Chain A
Amino acid sequence: MYSKKPINYYSPFLQITKALKELGSIGAMFLETVYQTFRKPFKLNYIFKQMEFIGVNSSVIVIITGVFTGMVLALQSYHGFRKFGGEGLVGATVALSMTRELGPVLTALMVTGRAGSAMAAELGTMRVTEQIDALTVMALNPVKYLVVPRVVAAFFMLPVLTIISDFVGIIGGYIVGVKLLGINEGAFITKIIKHLDLDDIYNGLIKAACFGIILSLVSCYKGFYTSGGAEGVGRSTTEAVVVSSVSILISDYVLTSLMF
């Protein structure tokens, strides 16, 4: 019945083939998602539900992450800049780091950990309990009902979370820099205004939107093609978080090199 020859599942060739196959499947799912997104009927209520789950429910953790990131950035850069009397640049450093890099990336990673894992677990469970098949049998496209709302919601909510993260991060930097370390408040704020461009913010938000698509798509894919019962769901969840996070960091480099 089964092949007599033992298959080496860890051979690099097989791993690469598998990765490419997976990339292709994710790409196919992305196209299907885009197609289904613009096809009637629009499932707005599903999208809003997912927006609440991905956006509103992640806001607290994103705010906490943002504030403390801004605070530690101010603290670290202060000690560096103090050596050559550039304390005034702490504000600009915090603002630029938050808007261009840390805001989008940390937000995406936090949402991956919180919502991406939940997506994979939810869809994985639906797969193993045949709920996805049930949708198909009802002549309903499961991608439209399950994947599209999540991807669209992540696409819209990641920028919103990111701008909140940027803002509270700068406030965190302000609290540490001006209130605790005693940096001149005027210098702190004017340097931010001088060095921060609107493009920095906008490009950060575009990045965030891309991360939203990536993390939701990867997580949905992993959940959607789960097999092997409860254990398979656990495996999918882990893989979803790992693959999403790595994809975010890789695409971050690519997007940054394209934009700035």
Chain B
Amino acid sequence: MNNRMVSSELKVGIMILIGILILFYMSFRIGKYGVFSEHGYELTAVFINAGGLDVKTPVKIAGVEAGKIKKISLDGFKALITLTIRGSVRIPVDSRISIRSQGILGDKFLEITPGNDQKILAQGGKIQDVVEAPDFDQLFASVNGAAKNFGETMGELKGIISEKEKANIRKSIENFQEASGDFKNLIKENKGNISRVVSNVDETMSGLKLMVKDVESGKGTLGLLVKDETLYNDAREAVNVLKTISAEIDQGKGTLGKLVKDEALYDETKATIANIKDLTDGIKKGEGTLGRLAKDDSLFIETEKAAKKVQKAAEGIQEMTPVTILGTIFGMFF
């Protein structure tokens, strides 16, 4: 009897052990609240509408489960949701929480979009940035309203538009279609040209840059000419006078004699040359309008921006192509 009893106890013991092992294995695999699951911390969030959420609904970050809803309760007339987040997951203070669903019929879940703040939410912290779920009932209601409005508008339109107008509209759409087709072709054909234009502009700009640099160092005529209008006029006058003199010389009136003969002219010329010298010195020192312009960086930057705008405009033209196609298609259905 004793032997038999020991063996029956042994058999029972082995069987219970197998049962417990299976239970442990299954608990471990499911691994939700088993002994081995790590401890988490709690966070809260307040939603206006927590419809579709349940206790144990997963909380995900980037689609990966990071915790679960622990409790849903009322806080005034809002839903206070308590989450259990895994201890290893750190959530910045400025994170955003939203109710998402897997497809229209899928289960709801909470998605946390982490923020950038250095501060981390601690035990009992509250996620402030809450995005309400689009309530499907409301959504459907508004879609319904919009559809109704659309239908009414269409009805009115139908009433307004007679056959003649219809034909006109059709024609204009055809025209538009044609035009957009032409435009498309144009762009297609001139793609090379446009890009060439752009690169030219680019080149021009770099030339301009170079020029500005030259101006800065006081080289070239431009500097000399722009300082002020009187100077310019004086200079022109002077040049004209010189031209006249040259002509007179050319006419054979005797250069040297004439110069000697007219002392005043000589003095005038001399003074003009001295003035020009003064002007050049002024530019070199950075005085006057041109000098300032030449020294100032902002001009260069503005110029560069302008060039970029030109480039963008060119790109815009390229992007417009698909929009045009869409327009064409829409036109076909209309």
A and B touch in the complex (CB under 8 A): yes
**Chain A contact residues, CB within 8 Å of chain B:** 45, 48-49, 51-52, 55-56, 59, 156-157, 159-161, 163-164, 166-167, 193, 196-198, 201, 205
| Closest B residue by C-beta to A200 | B30
- B1-37 CB contacts (< 8 Å) to partner A: 5, 8-9, 11-12, 15-16, 18-19, 22-23, 25-27, 29-34
Q: Give the number of chain B interface residues (Cβ < 8 Å).
A: 21
Instruction: Evaluate contact between B8 and A52: CB separation under 8 angstroms.
Output: yes
Q: Nearest Cβ distance between residue A103 and chain B, in whole angstroms?
A: 11
Interface residue SS majority, chain B: helix
Q: A111: shortest Cβ distance to chain B, in Å?
A: 13
In whole Å, how far is B150's beta carbon from the nearest beta carbon of chain A? 33
Q: What residue of chain B has the Cβ atom nearest to residue A205's Cβ?
A: B23
Q: A157 to B34: give the CA distance in the assembly, Å.
A: 23
In the complex, which residues of chain B have a beta carbon less than 8 angstroms from the beta carbon of A156?
A: 16
Knowing A48-B5, A163-B22, A164-B22, say if A198 contacts B12 (CB, 8 Å): no
State the majority secondary structure of interface residues on A. helix
Given A49-B8, A193-B29, 19 more pairs with CB closer than 8 A: A48-B5, A52-B12, A56-B8, A156-B16, A160-B16, A160-B18, A160-B19, A161-B19, A163-B19, A164-B22, A166-B26, A193-B31, A196-B30, A197-B30, A197-B56, A198-B34, A201-B23, A201-B26, A201-B30
User: Do residues B8 and A193 form an inter-chain contact, with CB atoms below 8 A?
Assistant: no
CB distance from A200 to the nearest CB of B (A): 9
Q: Is the CB of B9 within 8 A of A48?
A: yes
Q: Are A159 and B19 in contact (CB under 8 A)?
A: yes
Given A193-B30, A197-B32 in contact, is the A56-B5 Cβ separation under 8 Å? no
Contacts of A167 in B (CB 8 A): 22, 25-26
- Cβ–Cβ < 8 Å partners of B5 in chain A: 45, 48-49
User: Which B50-65 residues have C-beta < 8 A from chain A?
Assistant: 56
Q: Which residues of A contact B23 (CB under 8 A)?
A: 163, 201, 205
Render B141-174 as a binary contact track against A, CB cut-off 8 A, 1 for contact.
0000000000000000000000000000000000
Which B residues are in CB contact (< 8 Å) with A52?
8, 11-12
B12 touches A55 (CB 8 A): yes
Q: A52-B8, A167-B22 are in contact. Are A201 and B27 (CB under 8 A)?
A: yes
Tell me the minimal C-beta distance from B137 to chain A in angstroms.
25
CA distance A163 to B21 in the complex (A): 10
Point out the residues of chain B lying under 8 angstroms from A166, CB to CB: 22, 26
Nearest Cβ on chain A to B325's Cβ, whole angstroms: 35
6 contacts between A and B (CB under 8 A): A51-B8, A51-B12, A163-B19, A163-B26, A167-B25, A197-B32
List residues of chain A with CB within 8 A of the CB of B16.
55, 156, 160
Q: Which of A48, A55, A161, A166 has the most CB of B within 10 A?
A: A48
Q: Give chain A residues whose Cβ lies under 8 Å from the Cβ of B27.
A: 198, 201
- Chain A hits for B32, CB < 8 A: 197-198
A100 to chain B, nearest CB (A): 13
Give the CA-CA distance A164 to B19 in the complex, in Å. 6
- Residue contact B12 to A48, C-beta cutoff 8 Å: yes
Report the minimal beta-carbon distance from A213 to chain B, rounded to whole angstroms: 18
Contact for B30 among A45, A56, A157, A198, CB less than 8 A: A198
Residues of A near B12 (CB, < 8 A) are 48, 51-52, 55-56, 157
Report chain A residues within 8 Å CB of B30: 193, 196-198, 201
Chain A residues with Cβ below 8 Å from B26 are 163, 166-167, 201
